[in-house]
């Protein structure tokens, strides 16, 4: 796949200009990097609180497998928009963590 707009010009159809998308339309469509989302302060606190709980459960399973697990709370009831925002937020945090680990490996010469 070629992401360059003019890379395939002149190949096949000689009327390539006729099939191009109007630049006016392209200005109206938001680019992926231009789309932002925001969680409220309360939602962020809830996310970090839930994250801390997940960390505690994971550490207990890893370091103290003989201890019975704490009962886990029921999943949150979320709207589709909120669920999508949280998925994006978690993916972002996951990517930041991966970048931090890569930098740590680089700094340690691993």
| pLDDT per position as a tens digit, 45-58 | 888 888 888 888 88
Give Cα separations from 74 to 42, 50, 56, 71, 81 (angstroms).
19, 11, 16, 9, 20
- pLDDT, residue 33, reads 63
* DSSP structural state of residue 10: T
pLDDT value for 24: 75
Cα 100 to Cα 91: distance, rounded to the nearest angstrom: 14
What is the model's pLDDT at position 69?
81
Q: What is the pTM for the complete model shown?
A: 0.53
Query: Model confidence at 9, in pLDDT bands (50, 70, 90)?
Result: low
Enumerate the domain spans of the chain: 39-75
pLDDT tens, 25-43? 767 766 666 656 677 888 8
Query: pLDDT tens, 56-71?
Result: 888 988 999 898 887 8
Residue 110 pLDDT greater than 70, yes or no:
yes
- Rounded to whole angstroms, how far apart are CA atoms 47 and 85? 11
Question: pLDDT averaged over the chain?
Answer: 77
Tokens standing for residue 69: 């697990």
CA 110 – CA 106 distance, rounded (Å): 6
């Amino acid at each position: 796949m070629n992401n360059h707009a003019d890379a395939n010009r002149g190949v096949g159809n000689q009327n390539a200009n006729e099939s191009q998308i109007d630049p006016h339309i392209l200005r109206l469509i938001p680019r992926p990097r231009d789309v932002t989302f925001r969680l409220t302060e309360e939602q962020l606190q809830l996310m970090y609180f839930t994250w801390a709980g997940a960390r505690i459960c994971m550490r207990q399973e890893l370091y103290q497998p003989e201890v019975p697990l704490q009962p886990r709370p029921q999943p949150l009831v979320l709207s589709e928009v909120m669920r999508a925002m949280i998925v994006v937020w978690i993916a972002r945090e996951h990517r930041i963590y991966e970048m931090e680990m890569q930098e740590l490996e680089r700094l340690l010469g691993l």
